């Protein structure tokens, strides 16, 4: 009896102090984390991102994607930024990332500025989180609050980068499974997919859809064929916007396109099955209500930015985002 009582007290104690709770790391994050240690950090990042997006609007989508590909692999720890070395294998050469992810130079430039101002204070993971938010806002999208205080990983996972990121050939069930693995429900999956309202995709990833699928607007398919020849190897890297109407504006045209069967990649069109799918009503609602999409997207991005952050004394603050500190 006494033994059982001791175990009960221990269990309650562990619960109270949060042993094993993934929420502990979140409690160490704060919007004002750098208020005293690097007061100009947030504004420096914002200005650099706005300048980069102004010079090349496509960069907005690239910075958003960098943050997404970071958080879905090991959590939001800047592992995606690490270069391969003779003694280290990073994530940049995984199938979803190789010759595809971009924006590294923008992050490098920001980090260099911050190191001059506040050496070894602002993490690369926090730079990615803020850069994604500011990039979306620069393209007329929503703005959300970003909690700060993440630290940078000393590891990366090529295997997880190959297995845990959604692919353009996924069907709906695969998309649901991939997002569920990161604790996102179906509604949040549909919301985060709306990030494709900006950005470009290579011909190799939509060729099969425009030539072989039937649930596609014929005139849209013909227009895309002009950019993407049918033969593999011919124009594989030709780029087309996910949304050819307003490619550099964060709006709800992505969902409008799906309703009209103008989703460019297979996985996107899976979200709308001409009124018969389990996600159709949400897609249709977003196609008519940009305000609701903006709010939901901001909320989902806040949740994504809190995926398994490294905090406290774990990890490190890299001095260069591409390499682990010596």
* In the predicted structure, residue 28 carries a pLDDT above the cut 70: yes
The answer to whether position 115 is within a domain reads yes
Q: Are residues 203 and 93 in the same domain?
A: no
CATH of the domain at 111: 1.10.520.10
137 and 223 in a single domain? The answer is: no
Q: For residues 41 and 43, what is the distance between their CA atoms, to the nearest angstrom? A: 6
Catalytic residue among 26, 35, 69, 266: 69
What integer pLDDT is reported at residue 24 of this predicted model? 59
> Which residue, 105, 130, 165, sits at the end of a domain?
165
CA dist., res. 112 & res. 321, Å (int): 9
- 173 part of a folded domain: no
Please identify, among 137, 165, 193, the residue that sits at the C-terminal boundary of a domain. 165
Whether 79 and 156 share a structural domain: yes
| Residues 120-138 pLDDT 10s | 999 999 999 999 999 999 9
Is residue 160 domain-shared with residue 219, that is, in the same domain?
A: no
- pLDDT for 274: 85
Pairing between β-strand 200-202 and β-strand 239-241 as defined by DSSP bridges: antiparallel
251 is in an annotated binding site: yes
In a domain, 294, yes or no: yes
Integer-rounded Cα Rg, in Å, for the chain is: 21
For 167-203, the pLDDT digits (tens) are 999 999 999 999 999 999 999 999 999 999 999 999 9
311 assigned to a ligand binding site: no
* 128 and 207 part of one domain: no
Q: Are residues 161 and 70 located together in one domain of the fold? A: yes
Contact 153, 77 (CB under 8 A): yes
* 166 assigned ligand-binding residue: yes
Mean pLDDT on 139-143 = 98
- Whether 46 and 152 map to the same domain: the answer is yes
Q: Are residues 207 and 257 in the same domain?
A: yes
Would you state the structure tokens that stand for residue 50, as one six-digit string? Answer: 């706005």
Is residue 246 annotated as involved in ligand binding? Answer: yes
The reported pLDDT for the residue numbered 293 is: 98
User: Same domain for 144 and 220?
Assistant: no
Q: 0.85 exceeded by the pTM?
A: yes
The tens digit of pLDDT for each residue in 78-118 reads 999 999 999 999 999 999 999 999 999 999 999 999 999 99
Mark which of 135, 165, 195 sits at the end of a domain. 165
Contact 315, 153 (CB under 8 A): yes
- On whether residue 308 sits in a domain, the answer given is no
Please enumerate in sequence order all residues whose Cβ is within 8 A of that of 274, keeping only pairs 6 or more positions apart, or say none.
215, 261, 280
For residue 263, the enclosing domain spans 184-303
Residue 1 lies in a domain: no
Domain-located, residue 176: no
Clarify whether 266 is annotated catalytic: no
> Is 77 known to sit in a ligand binding site?
yes
Residue 26: inside a domain? no
Are residue 127 and residue 188 in the same domain, yes or no? Answer: no
Report the percentage of the chain scoring pLDDT > 70.
92
- Encoding tokens for residue 124? 């690369």
CA separation for the pair 138, 198 (Å, rounded): 12
Question: Domain count of the chain?
Answer: 2
Could you tell me if residue 46 is inside a domain? yes
pLDDT at 25: 64
Residue 292 predicted with pLDDT over 80: yes
For residue range 252-284, list pLDDT tens digits in order.
999 999 999 999 999 999 999 988 899 999 999
**Whether residue 1 has pLDDT greater than 50:** no
Residue pointed to by tokens 């020849």: 229
The DSSP-derived string for 143-174 is: -----B--BB-S---HHHHHHSS--TT--HHH
Q: Tell whether the model's pLDDT for residue 163 goes beyond 60.
A: yes
The pLDDT assigned to 326 comes to 87
**What residues contact 75, with CB distance under 8 A and at least 6 apart?**
307, 308, 309, 310
Residues 159, 190, single domain; the answer is no
Say whether 96 counts as a known binding-site residue. no
Same domain, 45 and 161: yes
Report how far apart, in Å, the C-alpha atoms of 79 and of each of 107, 162, 196 are.
Answer: 13, 14, 23
Q: In CATH, what number is assigned to the domain containing residue 290?
A: 1.10.420.10
């Amino acid at each position: 009896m006494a033994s059982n009582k001791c175990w009960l007290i221990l269990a309650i104690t562990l619960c109270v102090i949060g042993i094993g709770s993934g929420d502990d790391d979140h409690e160490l994050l704060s919007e004002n984390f750098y208020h005293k240690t690097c007061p100009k950090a947030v504004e420096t990042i914002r200005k650099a991102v706005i300048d980069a997006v102004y010079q090349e609007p496509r960069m907005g989508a690239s910075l958003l994607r960098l943050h997404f590909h970071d958080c879905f692999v090991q959590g939001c720890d800047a592992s995606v930024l690490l270069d391969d070395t003779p003694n280290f294998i990073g994530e940049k050469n995984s199938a979803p990332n190789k010759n595809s992810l971009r924006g590294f130079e923008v992050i490098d430039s920001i980090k260099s500025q911050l190191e001059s101002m506040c050496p070894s204070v602002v993490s690369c993971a926090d730079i990615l989180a803020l850069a994604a938010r500011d990039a979306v806002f620069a393209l007329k999208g929503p703005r959300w609050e970003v909690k700060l205080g993440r630290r940078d990983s000393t590891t990366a996972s090529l295997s997880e980068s190959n297995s845990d990121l959604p692919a353009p050939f996924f069907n709906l069930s695969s998309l649901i499974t991939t997002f569920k693995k990161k604790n996102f429900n179906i509604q949040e999956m549909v919301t985060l997919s709306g990030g494709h309202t900006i950005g470009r995709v290579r011909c190799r990833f939509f060729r099969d859809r425009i030539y072989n699928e039937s649930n596609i607007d014929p005139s849209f398919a013909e227009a895309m064929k002009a950019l993407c020849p049918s033969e593999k190897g011919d124009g594989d890297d030709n780029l087309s916007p996910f949304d050819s109407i307003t490619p550099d504006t964060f709006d709800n045209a992505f969902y409008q396109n799906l309703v009209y069967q103008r989703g460019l990649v297979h996985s996107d069109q899976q979200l709308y099955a001409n009124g018969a799918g389990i996600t159709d009503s949400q897609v249709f609602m977003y196609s008519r209500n940009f305000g609701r999409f903006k709010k939901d997207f901001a909320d989902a991005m806040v949740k994504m930015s809190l995926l398994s952050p490294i905090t406290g004394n774990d990890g490190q603050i890299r001095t260069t985002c591409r390499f682990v500190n010596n």
